Amino acid sequence: MRLNYSMTPVNDAKAIKGMGRDFNISFKHAVVICDKVRGMKLSEAMNLLEAVIALEKTIPFKKFNKGIGHRRGLGKDNIAKYPKKAASVILSVLKNIEANADYKGLDNERLIISHIQALKGISRKRRKPKGRYATWRTDLINVQAVVEELE
């Protein structure tokens, strides 16, 4: 099965692709994290996501921010959360890309995330317990990323 990406890199020799499929995470959290991480260096993005998992830094919510509490001391970005589950999943995708870069022989300090995107995947349906008639629906998320090396 061939995996299709939303973006094709300019130079395939200096680009690394990575994809994670069928993650059980919040779509809104994944979109906000991808918006924050896009354009950053790979090492900075991984450090940010590790800090979010350790509850040291927050992710500002510029989209999907209805009903989110404010955080004191953040200044302009005071509408923020700690999306730990989505951050750990996206961090695993970025670690996969880092391993691909090592295999390809590229310099990890010069890698910039040029494209990262969260997409809606399949919707899995399950029966409710105890013989109930209605079903539960679980929406799964796909994350794809392209990292390019600066010249």
Percent of the chain whose predicted confidence (pLDDT) is above 90 = 60
Flag whether 38 is in a domain.
yes
Q: In this predicted model, what pLDDT tens digit does every residue of 91-142 receive, in sequence order?
A: 999 999 999 999 999 999 999 999 999 999 888 887 777 777 777 888 999 9
β-strands 15-23, 135-149 pairing = antiparallel
Q: Residue 115 is part of a domain; what is its CATH number? A: 3.90.470.10
Strand partners, 112: 41, 148
Entry pTM: 0.87
Q: Residue 143: which of 59, 15, 14, 24 has the closest Cα? A: 24
Q: Which residues contact 56 (CB under 8 A, 6 or more apart)?
A: none
Flag whether 106 is in a domain.
yes
Q: Are the CB atoms for 74 and 80 separated by under 8 Å?
A: yes
Flag whether 2 is in a domain.
no
The Cα 72–Cα 104 span in angstroms is: 44
Flag whether 62 is in a domain.
yes
The Cα 48–Cα 42 span in angstroms is: 10
Where in the sequence is the domain holding 126, given as residue range(s)?
Answer: 16-149
